[in-house]
Structure 1
Amino acid sequence: MNKVLLFNPRSARTKPRIPNSILSVAAVIEGFYEYAIVDGNLETDPWTKINSYLATGEFKFFGCTCMPGPQLRQAIPISKQIREQYPEVRIIWGGYFPSNQPKVVLHSGFVDFIVNGPGEKCFPALLKALETGDNWTTIPNLIYKGEQGIVKTGKDELYDQDALPSLPYETLNNFYPLKRYLGKTYLGTRTIAYHSSMGCPFKCSFCAVVPIYNARWRGKSAQLIYEDIKYLKDQHGGNAIEFHDNNFFVSEKRTVEFSKLIQPENMIWWGEGRIDTIDKYSDKSLEIMRESGCKMIFFGAETGNDEILAKMDKGGTQSSAQIRAFAGRMAKFDIIPEYSFVLGTPADTPEQVMKQIDQDIAFIKEIKSINPKTEIIIYLYSPVPTEGSDLYKKVLESGFHFPEKLEDWISPHWENFDLRKNPLTPWLTPEMIDKIKDFETVLNSYYPTVSDIRLSAFKRGIMRSLSAVRYKTGLYWKPYELKVLQLLWKYRQPEIEGF
C-alpha cells in the first residue's frame, strides 16, 4: 500500500498548537490515501513512532512541515534516518524553511521534493505522479533537483479558502486527543490555534512570507471561520482563539463580520495585523472588535526611523508618527498593541548601526510613555533571502552567508539565529548585541509582559522596583540582578514561546 506519513516536528517546549499546516494537506488526501500523523510536540521520541509505521512497509511517502528554528532539530535527523533505513520512501518537505532555502535542503540528499507555498493541490498531484510514474514537472508550487540544478515550477493561484475541504479535526483526534492542543494561555484556559487566510498583500524586505506569496492574500469567509471556531468550542471546549495568519486584518469588512458572529460566544481572541491597515478602520469597527473579545493584536512596528522603514519596503503608509499615534488610539479601545521591533539593521558604518540602536531604544521608551500597556517584542535583525531588496544587498556586501550544509542549521547558534536572538551578522559587534539584550532585560523587568500568566503580582512588583533606576536613567549595562530573577522565575518571552 502507498500510505502517507505526515510529521509535525516539535516547535515549542510547551503548549502544543493544532498542527494546521499538516491538517491542510491531510484534508485534501482524505479519502484518497490512508495516512497517519506523528506530532513531535506530543511524542517523547517521535522517531520510535515514525519507525514503527515505516517498518510495516505500507508507507511510501513522508511529508514533513518545517519552519525555521526548533522544528529543524527533529526534521533534519529524522529525514536523514529515513533515507538511510528506508531509501524507497519519498521525502517531501513543506513550510517556510525549505521554500526559502531550497538549495541546501535538496542538496542534502535526503529530501526529494519541496512544496513551495500552498500544498492543497500540489501535494496530492505529486503523490499521484509518483505513484503512476507521470511527469511532475508541470505541477505548480513544486521545487526539486533536476539534471541542470534546482528547478522551481510556476506559482499557482491562491486558492478560494472557502472551497477547500474542512480540516480533519476528528482524524487528528484519533491520533492525539484534540484537547491536548487547547492549552492555557493569557487569552483563555483552552486556546484554539487557527489559520484563516494565506499570504500577505505586502512585500516587506525582511519577511520570509514574501518570496513564497509575492504580495498575494486570500482569506476564508467570516461565516466559515465562525463555523470552525464554533465547532471547536462546542465539541472540544475551546474558549479563546489565536489567529496565526500572517495578516488577519487585511479586510475590515471580514473582520467586522467575524467580530459580530463571534461576540455571543464570549471568546477572547488575538491576531496579527499592520498598523497602517488597522489605523484605517473606523472607530465603530474597533469598538465592535473589542466588544467581540479582541484583546491584543500583534503589529510589526519594526523601527522608529522612517528612512529604515522605507528600506524595509513595508509598503503602505506606516511611519514613526503613525506608530506613536496608533499606540495612543488603541488605548482608547482597550485593545493591547503588541509592537515588535527589529534592532540592528545594517548600515554603512558601525557608528551608524549603534546610533540607530540608540534611537530605537529611545523610540520604544517613547511608545511606552504614550501607552504603557503596549507590549514590546525585540528581535535582532536576521537576513531573509529577498532578492533585489536594498537591505539584502547590504547584507551580502557585508560578507554574510547562510550555511551551505543542511545539518549546520541545527547547530545552537544557527537555531537561535532563526529565532532572531543570535544574528551571526558581521556588522553587529558584541557591544551592540549586549546593549540590545541588556535593554531588553531591563524593559521586560520594568514592564513584564501581561502574557506571562505564571508571573504573580508580587514578582512583577519586585522586578519593576529593582529595574526602575536602570530604566529611568538608561543604565542598562550588565543587569545581572534582573537576569537572575528572570531565570529563577522562568520569565516567559512570547516571541520565543508564544502565550
Structure 2
Amino acid sequence: MLTRGMPVTTRKPIEKVHFITTPHGLEFGRVDAAIYSTPPAAFLWLSAHLESKGIECRIQDAYTKMLDLETILKDIEDFQPDVVGLSVFTIVWYDNAYLAAKIKERFPEVLLVMGGYHVNHSYEEVLQCEAVDYCLPLEGETSLAELIECLNAGDDPQKVKGLAWRENGNLVATEPRPPLHDIMTLPRFPYHKLMDHRYVPWCFSHSPKDRFMATITSRGCPNQCVFCDIGRTEGRRFRHFTAQRVADEMEYLHTEFGVNQIEFLDALFTTNNKRVIELCGILKERGLELEWACASAIRFTDNQEMLDAMAETGCKKIFYGVESGNPAILKRVKKLTTDQVRKVIGMTKKAGILSHAAYIFGLPGDTPDTMEDTLAFAKSLNTDTASFSMAIPFKGTELYDLYKDKLISTDYREYQRSAVFKVDEYEPEYLEKMLIKAHKQYYLRIRYILSRLGKIKSWHDLWIHVRIGLGFLLGKIRYKMGSHKED
C-alpha cells in the first residue's frame, strides 16, 4: 500500500542535470562490449524539454562508450550536476542499482532520479534501492521539469503528477502523468550532445566515412501485442511530429553534423501512411541524399505507393515484428496471417528496401511443432536479416499476466539468456536450444552467406557483421560457463 509523506528535498537550486546510460556487467566489475550502438534518443527528449526551462543538461552514453565506473564518476565530478538521471530496462536493473549506489556514495548531495521501462511497472522495487531519490514512471519530460521547479521553489512535490519516492520507510506516489497530448510542443532535440561519439548502426551497410544518428518522431502504439507494454504505457493513440518537422530534423542533422544515415526509433513509424508519403515528398523536393531505416508492423505497411516513395528517398531497411510462422499462434498473439506477411515482405523487396523480421519462441500456445513452423517460415520468407528471441514476460505486458504463475526465475539477469517460465508443452531448456538452432540454420545457409557478402561495402562493414555474430555466440558461451554470475 502506498502512503503519502513529505518528499526528499535538495539543499541548493537545481541548475544542472546529468543523464547517463549504464554499461552492462558493471555490477560484476566488468564492462560488456556493446555489439552495436544506438544513440539514447530518450535522453534527447528529456534534455530538450529541460533546457527550454533553463536547466543545463549533459548526456553521457557510458554504455556505448564502454566506460568503467571510475570514468563515469570522474565525468560526474567534472560536470558537477545537481541531478543524475538513469533510464532502466529490466534486464540491466542490477547494473543500474549498482551504479546508483556508487554515485550516491561518492556524491551524496546529488539528487538521483530513475525512469524507463522497469520504473514504469516496478517503481516500488526500484525505490528499495536507497540511492534512488525519485522515480518517474511513464512519460518523464514534464514530470522531471515540474519536480525541479517545485524543489527550487521549496514547494510540495505531491502537486507534481507522475512521481514516486520513499519517505520514512513508506512509498509515496502521486497521480499518474497522462501522455503528452501534443508532442509538437517539444523543442528541437539537442543532437550535439551525442556527437562526441561515432555510432555504428545495425540497420545499414556502414563505413568510417558515414555518420549515423537516431531519433524518435512519435509516441503511442495502436497494436495490442501480448509481449509489449507500449500501448499500455504510451497509449494506443499515435501521436507524431508532422512530416514537415521530421524533414526539418533530418535536414538539420545532415547540414549541421554531416549525418547521412538516420534510424527512426519509433515503435511503428508507418502507422500514418499519409504522413510518410508527405515526408517522402518533402525529402524529394529538398534533394536530401540520406539513408534511413525504421520499424513498423505488417498491417501499417501494406501500401506499395508508400514503400516506393520511401525507397526513392533513401529508406534502406524496415524492421518488422513477424513473431511466428504458425497461423494459430499469430492469431492468438493478435498478429496478421502468414499470407499477409508474405505479401508485405514481397512488396518491400519490390520497392528495393531491405527487410528484417523478428521472431519469438515461447509465445502463448507455442509447442515444439509450432516453433519449427516458425523457423521454416522464416527461412522461406528469407528476409535480409532476422532475429530470434525467447518470450520474456516483462511486467506490464499481457504476456506477464499469462505467465506470472509459471515463472521459474525472477532474476532479471536470466531474462536475456534463459527461459524464465515453464509450461507443459516443453522444458525451459528447449527454448534455449531452439534459439541457437534458429540462428545457425538461418545464417549459415550458403545461399544466405553469398547474398550478404555481395552487399558488404567495406572491411569495416564486414567486421560489424562478424562482431555481431561472435557477440551472439560468445554470449551463449559466457552464459553456459556461468560468467553471468558473480565470480
Match of 2:442 in 1: 443
User: What is the alpha-carbon distance in structure 2 between the residues aligned to residue 51 and residue 148 of structure 1?
Assistant: 30
User: What is the alpha-carbon distance in structure 1 between the residues aligned to residue 36 and residue 466 of structure 2?
Assistant: 19
Structure 2 stretches of 5 or more lacking a match?
1-12, 25-32, 476-487
TM-fit CA distance, 1:233 = 0.8
User: What is the alpha-carbon distance in structure 1 between the residues aligned to residue 89 and residue 148 of structure 2?
Assistant: 22
What percent identity do the matched residue pairs reach?
A: 22
Query: Is 1:155 matched with 2:177?
Result: yes
Preserved CA contact (<8 Å) 1:196 1:245: yes
Preserved CA contact (<8 Å) 2:393 2:403: yes
Question: What is the aligned counterpart of 1:342 among 347, 356, 360?
Answer: 360
TM-fit CA distance, 1:111 = 1.7
Question: What is the aligned counterpart of 1:34 among 56, 68, 78?
Answer: 56
Question: What is the aligned counterpart of 2:320 among 278, 296, 299?
Answer: 299
TM-fit CA distance, 1:53 = 5.8
Deviations 1:274-324 (A, max 9, x none): 101111x2x32222111111121111111123332333245xxx2222112
User: What is the alpha-carbon distance in structure 1 between the residues aligned to residue 468 and residue 196 of structure 2?
Assistant: 31
Match of 1:214 in 2: 235
Question: What is the aligned counterpart of 2:290 among 246, 260, 267?
Answer: 267
Question: What is the aligned counterpart of 2:129 among 108, 120, 141?
Answer: 108
Distance 1:53 1:442, change over 3 A: closer
Preserved CA contact (<8 Å) 1:341 1:378: yes
Question: What is the aligned counterpart of 2:422 among 401, 406, 426?
Answer: 426
TM-fit CA distance, 1:116 = 1.9
Query: Is 1:6 matched with 2:19?
Result: yes
Match of 2:374 in 1: 360
Secondary structure of 1:18's match? Answer: coil
Question: What is the aligned counterpart of 1:277 among 300, 317, 334?
Answer: 300
Equivalences for residues 109-188 of structure 1 within 5 A = 109-145=130-166, 149=171, 151=173, 153-170=175-192, 172=193, 177=196, 180-181=198-199, 186-188=204-206
Match of 1:321 in 2: 339
Secondary structure of 2:149's match? Answer: helix
Equivalences for residues 185-200 of structure 1 within 5 A = 186-188=204-206, 189-200=210-221
Distance 1:301 1:489, change over 3 A: closer
TM-fit CA distance, 1:91 = 1.1
Match of 1:377 in 2: 387
TM-fit CA distance, 1:382 = 0.9
Match of 2:478 in 1: none
Distance 1:362 1:312, change over 3 A: same
Distance 1:183 1:284, change over 3 A: closer
Give 2:56's aligned amino acid. E
User: What is the alpha-carbon distance in structure 2 between the residues aligned to residue 335 and residue 58 of structure 1?
Assistant: 46
Match of 1:257 in 2: 278
User: What is the alpha-carbon distance in structure 1 between the residues aligned to residue 260 and residue 79 of structure 2?
Assistant: 41
TM-score by structure 2 length? Answer: 0.79
Distance 1:254 1:47, change over 3 A: same
TM-score by structure 1 length? Answer: 0.77
TM-fit CA distance, 1:165 = 1.1
**Number of residue pairs aligned between Structure 1 and Structure 2:** 436
Question: What is the aligned counterpart of 1:85 among 106, 116, 119?
Answer: 106
What is the alpha-carbon root mean square deviation over aligned residues? Answer: 3.3
Preserved CA contact (<8 Å) 2:356 2:386: yes
Match of 1:97 in 2: 118
Query: Is 1:48 matched with 2:75?
Result: no
Distance 1:234 1:56, change over 3 A: closer
Secondary structure of 2:236's match? Answer: coil
Give 1:256's aligned amino acid. I
Preserved CA contact (<8 Å) 1:327 1:374: no
User: What is the alpha-carbon distance in structure 2 between the residues aligned to residue 15 and residue 183 of structure 1?
Assistant: 6
TM-fit CA distance, 1:401 = 5.2
Structure 1 stretches of 5 or more lacking a match?
404-408, 461-485
TM-fit CA distance, 1:365 = 2.8
Preserved CA contact (<8 Å) 1:143 1:152: yes
Secondary structure of 1:223's match? Answer: helix
